[in-house]
Amino acid sequence: MQAISSESTAKLCDVGPYAELAAKPCTWPQVLEYDRLATPYLAIDGAMVLQNIRRLSEYCQSKGVKFRPHTKTHKSRVLAQFQCDAGAIGLTVAKAGEFETFASSEIDRLIAYPAISPGARRIAGDPQQSASGLFTVDSQQAVECLIEASSSAKLPLRVLVDADVGMGRTGVSTPAESLALAEQVDRATNLHLAGLFVYPGHVWAPPGEQQQPLEVVADIIDSHLQLWASKGFAAEIVSAGSTPTAYQSHLVKSVTEIRSGTYVYNDMNTVRGGFCEFNSCAARVIATVVSTAVPGQVVLDSGSKALAIDRCIPAPDSGHGFLPDYPQAVITALSEEHAQVAIGECDRAPKLGERVQIVPNHICPVINLTNEAWWFGSEQSPIELPIDARGKSR
């Protein structure tokens, strides 16, 4: 794989020190031996992060699909810069707070959330910010909000119509509904119909079994586009994608860009779902055994405030994360500051005071629980990786 350049026309920050440290990979035993950081903390394998970024970027380039990675996973300007350096055409954000965190006149940012929120209206009403924004709508009220908010915009706001392709979360249900919104957007002089927005987040089949569910997704998208075309509307952008479906995105021919997020770190959801190799998990919580008083159990200092509470989607009975050095151990319960770990099936048990690594079930909420992570590489000391968009959920 080619190295990721530290040069890009889009500049959020200087990634030079991070690229230099990640030039040689770290090992997780090396991370555990580093005792200058208090636990629990979040450790990042910088070399693996860059490998994950390169791999998906190269896939997209080989398939002619554009890439607009979702920042809600890493919430980091450093990682967003690496993604732009690797060829991302822009970024995806969840809310206005993230949009503002990754502000740059050279970086397109898609707000993957209905534009009826106060934050989206705030962005739409700021001509300087809205010029580099893409907005999604799934209701007439959302379109009206954008029309009202953008009355002073110098350029028409670019709008994507959100259509449901099976997730059942947001998005209109029928082509007739999406056409009605497309027509409403087209009538507004301060809006521009840019295309269609979908999210196949319901597709969790193993990669080798995704062709059939993605054919259904493709058919739904095509039904919208065909009705639009019959009325003279074209979708220059068809934005889709997820981490589970990332490397099968080419099966949906009409998609022009994908928005995967979790791929940058991976987690036990992506491992147990068969979407990545275990060694691709680049973010791990480092914790300390603080109690062995209860027989058959150890307690770690990484409770729900460090690991989050999400169960593993493909394996809900597997516990609250995975301990690679003790694969038979199960994190059975989390309170705020404690993780109770059943060790009855272990060949050997963690010792009091020992540091252990935990791969989270779902990395996205774990990232949002800390102000910073620690970027490891080669044999040097780690450097702090700010979580710039932590808590930016409005």
Q: Which amino acid is at 201?
A: G
Is the pLDDT confidence value at 281 over 80?
A: yes
State the CATH number of the domain containing residue 278.
2.40.37.20
| Structure-token match 């060790």, residue found | 343
Q: What is the mean pLDDT of the chain?
A: 96
The helix/strand/coil state of 41 is strand
The reported pLDDT for the residue numbered 6 is 42
pLDDT at 1: 40
Question: pLDDT-derived band of residue 104, with 50, 70 and 90 as boundaries?
Answer: confident
Q: How do strand 257-258 and strand 66-67 relate by DSSP bridges? A: parallel
Residue 80 belongs to a domain: yes
Which residues fall within 8 angstroms of residue 362, CB to CB, at 6 or more apart?
267, 268, 269, 308, 310, 312
Name the domain boundary from 250, 266, 282. Answer: 266
Does residue 295 sit in the same domain as residue 245?
A: no
Confidence of residue 283 (pLDDT cuts 50, 70, 90): very high
Question: Which of these three, 218, 240, 266, is where a domain ends?
Answer: 266
On whether both 172 and 262 belong to a single domain, the answer is yes
Is the pLDDT at 154 greater than 90, yes or no? no
pLDDT score of 73: 98
Q: Which domain holds residue 280?
A: 15-45+269-386
Considering the domain architecture, whether residues 170 and 285 belong to the same structural domain is answered as no
Q: Are strands 108-114 and 297-300 parallel, antiparallel or unpaired?
A: unpaired
Percent of the chain surpassing pLDDT 70: 98
Give the CA dihedral 84, 86, 92, 98, nearest 10 degrees: -50
Measured distance CA(263)–CA(104) in Å, rounded: 23
Please give the angle made by the CA atoms of 48, 91 and 258, to the nearest 5 degrees.
Answer: 80
Q: Residue 330 pairs with which residues in a beta bridge? A: 342
Proportion of the chain above pLDDT 90, given as a percent: 92
193 within some domain: yes
32, 176: one domain: no
Last residue of a domain, one of 227, 251, 266: 266
In this structure, the answer to whether residues 107 and 122 fall within a common structural domain is yes
Whether 163 contacts 172, CB under 8 Å: yes
Domain CATH code at residue 150: 3.20.20.10
Residues 220 and 353 in one domain: no
Contact 230, 178 (CB under 8 A): no
What is d(CA 52, CA 262) in angstroms, rounded to the nearest whole number? 10
Asked whether residue 256 is domain-assigned, the answer is: yes
Are 204 and 298 within one domain?
A: no
Q: Please state whether the predicted TM-score (pTM) of the whole model is above 0.85.
A: yes
85 and 191 together in one domain: yes
Phi and psi torsions of 162, nearest 5°: -85, 120
Residues 81 and 200 in one domain: yes
- What is the per-residue pLDDT for 9? 61
User: Does 1 fall in a domain?
Assistant: no
Strand 191-197 to strand 66-67: parallel, antiparallel, or no bridges (unpaired)?
unpaired
Structural domain contains residue 4? no
Residue 8 located in a structural domain: no
The CA–CA distances, whole Å, from 246 to 62, 88, 106, 251, 373 equal 13, 14, 25, 10, 26
Asked whether 18 and 78 are in contact (CB, 8 A), the reply is yes
162 neighbors 138 (Cβ within 8 angstroms): yes
Q: How many domains does the chain have?
A: 2
Residue range 14-27, pLDDT digits in tens:
999 999 999 988 89
Mean pLDDT of 375-390: 94
CA angle 8, 76, 313 (to 5 degrees): 120
Q: Where are the beta strands (DSSP E) in the chain?
A: 41-45, 66-67, 90-93, 108-114, 133-137, 157-162, 191-197, 237-240, 257-258, 283-291, 297-300, 330-334, 339-342, 355-358, 372-376, 383-386
Banded pLDDT at 10 (limits 50, 70, 90)? confident
Q: Is residue 106 very low, low, confident or very high in pLDDT (cuts 50, 70, 90)? A: confident
53 and 41 in one domain? Answer: no
Query: Has residue 394 been placed in a domain?
Result: no
* Sign of the Cα pseudo-torsion (162, 168, 172, 173, in order): positive
Query: pLDDT tens across 47-66, in order?
Result: 999 999 999 999 999 999 99
In this structure, the answer to whether residues 26 and 54 fall within a common structural domain is no
Same domain, residue pair 20 and 59: no
Would 393 be classed as within a structural domain? no
